[in-house]
Amino acid sequence: MGYTKDQLLQRLQELQIDFVRHDHPVVLTVEEQAKYVGHLEGGLSKNLFLKDKKSRYYVVSALAATNVDLKVLSVRLGLGKGGLRMAPVEGLEEILQVPLGCVTPFALVNDSARNVTLLLDQGFKTQKCCYFHPLSNDVTISLSTGDLDKFLISIGKDPSYVDLEANPKVGKDQPPDLASLVTSVTPILIDQPENTATAKPSTSNDVPTENKPKVAAGKPFSCHDLIFSVS
């Protein structure tokens, strides 16, 4: 069983991480979340839960207004166009161990998510604080990127902030700029045969917002999508 909201918040306190807690009704979209915290200083986040062709999982955490083009991001990760797709519900339940609407970097606290690749929007660095659900979408917490980094380092994750809107050329003399960030290990799902548990090393789902981000082909599984998503 994964971490609960209370266990996560207790861990943050033990790490002496400063955060502000905002309780509110359950929200399923960034617009709904904004009704309760949007008037406060800082940046709301959308969080996408994705999977590639080798069954490796990714959490992409971005400012709500950041445009995330999955085709471009796939190429930058060395996966080829269309390499990223919506993660299945079983991946959400077994890898991140959070309910729909609750994907955030905090979900990587669970040991089952240790091999998930995390990409953070460099735009977070421009904000006084950022807002995320702490494994439950009836609460939002705000904290600085410095304190978010402190949490990630405590669980063995190196915070990687990237320009998610960049579209650099990739070719023979210009290798994918984000390929080194991809975790080479494939997580094990309960119904997955043992002989497919580990992938060979690589050689090479949150919600609509007031400024709805554009997402390339195949809408990703995110943290705040009414049907498939998660913040």
| pLDDT per residue as tens digits for the range 67-83 | 999 999 999 999 988 89
In a domain, 206, yes or no: no
Which domain, by its residues, includes 27? 5-186
Report for 83-92, 161-170, 176-185: range of highest mean pLDDT: 161-170
Pure H helices in the chain: 5-14, 30-37, 70-76, 89-91, 145-154
Q: How far apart are CA 218 and CA 216, in angstroms?
A: 6
In a domain, 212, yes or no: no
pTM of the model: 0.81
Q: How far apart are CA 111 and CA 24, in angstroms?
A: 28
Q: Give the pairing of strands 20-23 and 139-143.
A: antiparallel
For residue 188, pLDDT beyond 60: no
Measured in whole angstroms, the distance separating CA 82 from the mean position of its chain's CA atoms is 18
Compute φ and ψ for 47, nearest 5 degrees.
-130, 120
- pLDDT at res. 43: 97
Instruction: Quick: pLDDT tens for 28-70.
Output: 888 899 999 999 999 999 999 999 999 999 999 999 999 999 9
Q: How far apart are CA 75 and CA 80, in angstroms?
A: 5
Instruction: Quick: pLDDT tens for 85-124.
Output: 989 988 888 999 998 889 999 999 999 999 999 999 999 9
For residue 209, pLDDT beyond 50: no
* Percent of the chain scoring above 70 in pLDDT: 80
In a domain, 223, yes or no: no
pLDDT tier, 8 (very low <50, low <70, confident <90, very high otherwise) = very high
**DSSP conformational letter for 93:** I
In a domain, 28, yes or no: yes
In a domain, 91, yes or no: yes
When pLDDT is averaged across residues 197-202 and rounded to a whole number, the result is 35
* Percent of the chain scoring above 90 in pLDDT: 69
In a domain, 113, yes or no: yes
Q: How far apart are CA 57 and CA 43, in angstroms?
A: 25
Cβ count near 174 (within 10 Å): 9
Q: What is the CATH number of the domain that holds 165?
A: 3.90.960.10
Q: How far apart are CA 77 and CA 94, in angstroms?
A: 24
- pLDDT at res. 187: 59
pLDDT tier, 172 (very low <50, low <70, confident <90, very high otherwise) = confident
- pLDDT at res. 168: 96
Q: Pick the residue with more confidence: 205 or 125?
A: 125
In a domain, 99, yes or no: yes
The number of domains in the chain is 1
In a domain, 192, yes or no: no
H or E, element range at 57 = strand 57-63
User: 């797709």: which residue's tokens?
Assistant: 85
Nearest to 105 by CA among 77, 54, 143, 67: 143
Mean of the per-residue pLDDT values of the chain: 84
Residue 29 makes CB contacts below 8 A (sequence gap 6+) with: 207, 208, 209, 224, 226
